[in-house]
Structure 1
């Protein structure tokens, strides 16, 4: 997943607790091996190679789990009018943040038509898929880590654990409380600043943070070029520096944090304020903090 995974849990048997922690890490590695766009052998890579060559009469069989991830992704595509779009990688995969390179204008013009979640033709009953545009490339990075922390918490809960926290980079899910007190989850200072900007108390919930400081480079004209791509333009989203979404499940908060980042502060908060189970904390590039209606700014 390209990030650090942390597990904290309480259990009456220390040896069993270590086993459960190891099982969480095994599940995380399974999800990474299945959905990584960087591993040629992953199910995702195999789907990207094959689905564009299939058609309605001969769709590609996929696993029920892949079908579930695609179905949820397409749901958020519809909910956000394309702000969340797993086909963004049709162009975004040509960014190289370590080398400081971005797609050429010619590449952008050629590949922008491939960015459209409607090109992903999923049958989530038969568990099949095909791409209706040959240059489509899917990346599940905006939703798979949230799914992974949910899977980890489900594993621990089913084993009888009542107090736990699992995080994978900007995605965290907590089970119960921290033995009488809330879990305290920090939102990082954006733009490379040290320390924590805001600390959020959580119980039985998930939080996902999307920031423009995770993978980025400074362009030739001084622009901040980062990995959260606006599907409409194929370029980095420009208004916000950090978006954190709080809700019941990481599967949803992960996708929503990306969505709100792309939508911007006003449209993003309008979306979250229509979703009763979710709240948002936004930090703009100018350093201003904005909250959804369900949250009160700390005094």
Structure 2
């Protein structure tokens, strides 16, 4: 059996196994935002309609701030103009860039928001990838050391081809903001999910929430089930956005060194105290691979990882043990 985790429970993401009895005070809501599905289930003796609207409004605000696909977002504007002259951005966006550069240093470059310099050349819906010449040119502009954070919340890109994408951290941050809103409203028991990122607040009124890690090769199956409470979790997988070309899986988790999809792993789930960290670390471990990824996780307090490689082998960080 899995040993109790320091954060009181184990978790992974992608599939929530609710199978809950019907309670009058359990309320659920679902909506689409940030290119994925958001879901919340919470316990409240009051009608939660207004609270659900506040969650929707906050996440849409973040989408308008951080999406590279919204033309007038701060991120899109920085991508267009950041190489021409320093751009003044909001304190919130600036702090997220600071946190991104922290993870860039912590992971020796595995977490790199400038992967978008090559990433924008891929179209996963259309099954399109850049040719070798275009990819080689784009990767010359990858490297978060090309981002200069200046006083007064100004940012400058040192390379004209550099672009950023906060896809490895934005959804985790949105979850954290959502949980803050729930706490402010007096909610003590809730589950909030956005794509592969989730946070479980409290327990399920006396018993843990039952959550499963999606099987990376069969959307109808669960790789394992875990009871959790008061925990953030993020899963990065090669099955979330991908296409197959010449027998090779082309997915959205790119190597900052090559601009190509990372080989070797199928799924990485990270458990941490907040969703922003879990989000960034699940991406980082996927890029680093099993050995270097677990070495990173094992040195971090109150952080765990469950890795599934492409052969279906499961590996755990040192604080966890495999089911017997």
The TM-score with structure 1 as length reference comes to 0.95
List per-residue Cα deviations over 1:116-163 (Å, max 9, x = no partner): 00001113x521111000100000000000000000000010111111
Number of corresponding residues: 291
Equivalent position to 2:103, from 76, 83, 99: 76
> 262, 270, 273: which one pairs with 1:245?
270
> Cα distance, 1:191 vs. partner?
2.5
Shift of 1:21: 1.5
In the alignment, the residues of structure 2 paired with residue 225 and residue 2 of structure 1 have an alpha-carbon distance, to the nearest angstrom, of: 19
* Aligned match of 1:215: 241
Q: Specify the SS of the correspondent of 2:36.
A: coil
Q: Residue 236 of structure 1 aligns to a residue in which SS?
A: coil
Q: CA deviation at 1:46?
A: 0.9
Partner of 2:77: 46
* Equivalence for 1:106: 133
CA distance in 1, matches of 2:93, 2:226: 32
Instruction: List alignment gaps of at least 5 residues for structure 1.
Output: none
Question: 1:262: Cα distance to partner?
Answer: 0.4
- Residue of structure 2 in register with 1:24 after alignment: 55
- State how 1:60-139 maps to structure 2 within 5 Å: 60-123=87-150, 126-139=152-165
Runs of 4+ aligned residues of structure 1 deviating over 4 Å after TM superposition are none
Partner of 1:174, secondary structure, is strand
Counterpart-to-counterpart distance in 1, 2:45 and 2:163: 46
- Compute the TM-score of the two structures, normalised by the length of structure 2: 0.88
In the alignment, which of 189, 208, 217 is matched to residue 191 of structure 1? 217
Using the alignment, how far apart are the partners of 1:95 and 1:287 within structure 2?
27
**Matches of 2:160 and 2:211, distance apart in 1:** 42
Among 258, 266, 282, which residue is 2:291 paired with? 266
Hey, what's the Cα distance between the residues in 1 that align with 2:200 and 2:56?
16
Q: In the alignment, what sits opposite 1:228?
A: 253
Q: Is the 8 A contact 1:239 1:285 kept in 2?
A: yes
The one of the two structures with greater contact order (alpha-carbon pairs below 8 A, sep at least 6) is: 2
Structure 1 residue 88 displacement after superposition = 0.2
**Over residues 186-242 of structure 1, what are the superposed CA-to-partner deviations in whole Å (9 max), with x where a residue is unaligned?**
2111024422111222211100000000111111x2111100001111100001000
Change (3 A) 1:228 1:96: same
Q: Structure 2: state its 5+ residue gaps.
A: 1-33
Distance 1:89 1:9, change over 3 A: same
Give me the whole-angstrom Cα distance separating, in 2, the residues matched to 1:173 and 1:193: 21
Select which of 179, 183, 205 maps to 2:231: 205
Q: Does 2:45 align with 1:12?
A: yes
